[in-house]
Amino acid sequence: MTVHTTQISADLPCDLPCHRCGYDLRAHPQDGNCPECEASVAESRRVAAIPARPAWRDSDPRWRRRVVAGAWILVLLPLITMLKAFGWAASVPVPTVFDFRGTVRTLDDTLICSLGVYEPMVFCIGVVLLFSKERGRRRGRWDWARRWGVIGSYAVFLLSAAQVLFIVALVSAGIGAVFVSMPLKYQPQVTQMFVKASSGYLRYGPYPKEISVVVLVAFSSITILLACIPLFDALRSSGPRRFATILLAPLALFALMHLAQAGRYWLGISGLTPTDFFLLGTYFRPPLLFTSPSILIMWPSVLGGFLVEAAKWGIVLGIAVWLTIAQVAAWRKGKRKRAGALLAAPRAP
């Protein structure tokens, strides 16, 4: 009995945490189960043999695709602002399903282009993709950041949606008032729907306050800080670790700057006006990228904001290009490996 136990302990690693709950499984046989969560000991041994940070080509393919997609979605965040700055949004037609001759004819007339809906939505989608779960990897000490990062993204989305929904409720109330003022026989059937929905939200729905903008800036900055962790994992698995640190350091620094501005504004010691602080938004400020050169020359503070925003967007673009190159290289290597395996396979007589 002693020899058998010693042999099992020698075969097992010095530290064998359960891949599901983290329970120490050193003294358990390979064909056993975890006493805490009933997970397989053999699966825990297999996961323990995987490096804590596998190479990019050996990582979960689904996780790789989602991280690359999240980076490129964040790159596209200034898209609507660029279309509006160059006047292209007014020339992009919007497809119509019904024969409706209203004022919504181009992209510039839509809700997504006029009320700041696009930037928070793209921010939340891109960041949530960065926090995708990686399968087949050992548990790490920073895995808790994924859950809190997703929660922070949802909080940013809800805070941004409250401001938009309040304006939509006001517009719907105006439309309902116009319909009610019409003679009864000419009122459309959706009159009561507009009246009940708008009045119900204005009575019971959340109203945006100044503190909500402070919380929005704080949550978006914290979310970017947490997003630097999966980005660092992706970059260091596909390139030099030092270069990944240098590339991500400005993003974390700018997030800390936004957090400090939110704290100072909440304490009443900031020199920012409510309008300036409202423009901080969800960490990224695309309108600064398309500021007139004359304004940049006349106002040094605007020039500083432009440089900061250009650095943010350039870093995100560099990350997206870096990960895309690594993804293409991993795909080509996997393709050559599969082709070599097919050539080495014995042929049937």
Full 3-state SS string of the chain? CHHHHHHHHHHCCCCCECCCCCCECCCCCCCCECCCCCCEHHHHHHHHHCCCCCCHHHCCHHHHHHHHHHHHHHHCCCHHHHHHHCCCHHHCECCCCCCCCCCCCEHHHCHHHHCCCHHHHHHHHHHHHHCCCCCCCCCCCCCHHHHHHHHHHHHHHHHHHHHHHHHHHHHHHHHHHHHHHCCHHHCCCCHHHHHHHHHHHHHHCCCCCHHHHHHHHHHHHHHHHHHHHHHHHHHHCCCCHHHHHHHHHHHHHHHHHHHHHHHHHHHCCCCCCHHHHHCCCCCCCHHHHHCCHHHHHHCHHHHHHHHHHHHHHHHHHHHHHHHHHHHHHHHHHHHHHHHHHHHHCCCCC
248/196 same-domain check: yes
Mean pLDDT for the stretch of residues 224-252? 91
Who wins on pLDDT, 272 or 115? 272
Same domain, 25 and 118: no
Domain assignment present for 347: no
- Written as one letter, the residue type at 103 is T
Same domain? 32 vs 97: no
- In this structure, the answer to whether residues 187 and 316 fall within a common structural domain is yes
For the chain, what percent of residues have pLDDT higher than 70? 87
pLDDT tier at 5, thresholds 50, 70, 90: very low
Do 165 and 22 belong to one domain? no
Q: How many domains does the chain divide into? A: 2
pLDDT for the residue numbered 140: 72
Is pLDDT above 90 for 71? yes
Shared domain for 77 and 194, answered yes or no, is yes
**In a 10 Å sphere around its CB, with 0-12 CB exposed, 13-18 middle and 19+ buried, how is residue 182 labelled?**
exposed
pLDDT digits (tens, 9 = 90+) for 131-164: 998 876 767 778 888 889 999 999 898 888 887 7
pLDDT tens digit string along 28-37?
887 888 888 8
Tell me: pLDDT of 341 over 80. Answer: no
Q: Is 164 part of a structural domain of the chain?
A: yes
Q: Are 66 and 202 contained in the same domain?
A: yes
Q: What is the predicted pLDDT for the residue at 97?
A: 61
Q: How many CB atoms lie within 10 A of CB 129?
A: 22
Q: Do residue 178 and residue 319 come from a single domain?
A: yes
Q: Is the pLDDT of residue 116 over 60?
A: yes
Residue 16 domain boundaries: 2-48
Rounded CA separation 349/164 (Å): 69
The per-residue pLDDT for range 279-302, each reduced to its tens digit, is 777 888 888 888 887 787 777 777
- Are residues 40 and 70 both part of a single domain? no
Answer yes or no: do 44 and 177 share one domain: no
